[in-house]
């Protein structure tokens, strides 16, 4: 026969097992902090005031767009290029707004500062909007690799809004450096790359206006 002490011991062991099980379930069900972080591009401090080019730009009225980014960047996750033929999507780092829209806004602000004009219309604009020149941009690469090398490759064309067609076409290959794996530093480096692109475009807009 099973003694009364043995029965009590089995009951206590069973209760202890239930308590531990409940404790384990509660720890699983407890809300955990969301590790997701959000980032944006920003116009760089160097472009806060018009530079010497603005004196020659003549207050140009510029139409910016269309601006196209590759489809693999059309996502909220921050993209890292692992190899020439493979990309990785971050599990926690996200863009705070659609990357193409953020890119266009920052490029527009950088151009406005460099050209000394606020007369920049973003595509699409109304037919009645006065435009002297139009800038179209096709971005091929805009990301960092695992070593922190940031690359912006873009073809851009300046078009005469008066109907004379393309006046100038170029391809910019811009590199910046960021701390590997640091999304904050990567966003800053990408912003600097956009600013550098705006400088190349502004130089040619100024040259064409001076002609």
User: Residue 94: what pLDDT?
Assistant: 97
Report the percentage of the chain scoring pLDDT > 70: 78
Burial of 1 (0-12, 13-18, 19+ CB in 10 A): exposed
User: Residue 92: what pLDDT?
Assistant: 95
Output the CA torsion sign for 122, 128, 130, 131. Answer: positive
In 3D space, the residue among 159, 143, 147 whose CA is nearest the CA of residue 65 turns out to be 159
Element (H, E) at 197: helix 183-210
pLDDT tens per residue, the chain (211 residues)? 555 555 545 545 555 555 555 555 555 566 778 789 999 999 985 544 554 444 445 567 899 999 999 999 999 999 999 999 999 999 999 999 999 999 999 999 999 999 998 899 999 999 888 999 999 999 999 999 999 999 999 999 999 977 679 999 999 999 999 999 999 999 999 999 999 999 999 999 999 988 7
Q: Are 163 and 145 in contact (CB under 8 A)?
A: no
Q: Tell me the C-alpha distance between 41 and 167, whole Å.
A: 29
Give per-residue burial for 156-192: e unless 16+ CB within 10 Å, then b: bbbbeeeeeeebbeeebebebebeeeebebbbbbbbb
Cβ neighbours of 110 (radius 10 Å): 25
> Which residue is listed with tokens 């806060």?
48
User: Residue 150: what pLDDT?
Assistant: 97
Look over the chain and give the mean of its residue pLDDT values, rounded to a whole number.
Answer: 85
Per-residue pLDDT of 136-185, as tens digits, reads 999 999 999 999 999 999 999 999 977 679 999 999 999 999 999 999 99
């Amino acid at each position: 026969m099973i003694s009364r002490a043995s029965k009590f011991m089995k009951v206590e062991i069973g209760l202890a097992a239930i308590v531990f099980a409940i404790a384990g379930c509660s720890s699983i069900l407890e809300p955990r902090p969301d590790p997701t972080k959000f980032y944006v591009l920003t116009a760089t401090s160097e472009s806060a005031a018009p530079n010497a080019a603005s004196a020659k730009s003549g207050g140009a009225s510029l139409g910016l767009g269309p601006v196209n980014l590759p489809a693999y960047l059309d996502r909220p996750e921050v993209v890292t290029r692992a190899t020439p033929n493979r990309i990785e999507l971050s599990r926690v780092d996200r863009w705070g707004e659609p990357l193409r829209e953020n890119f266009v806004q920052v490029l527009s602000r950088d151009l406005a500062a460099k050209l000394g004009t606020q007369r920049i219309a973003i595509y699409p604009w109304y037919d009645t909007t006065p435009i002297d020149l139009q800038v179209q941009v096709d971005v091929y690469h805009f990301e960092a690799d695992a070593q922190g090398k940031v690359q912006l490759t873009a073809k851009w064309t300046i078009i005469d809004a008066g109907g004379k067609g393309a006046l100038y076409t170029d391809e910019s290959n811009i590199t910046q450096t960021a701390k590997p794996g640091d999304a904050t530093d990567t966003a800053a480096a990408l912003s600097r790359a956009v600013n550098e692109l705006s400088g190349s475009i502004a130089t040619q807009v100024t040259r064409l206006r001076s002609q």
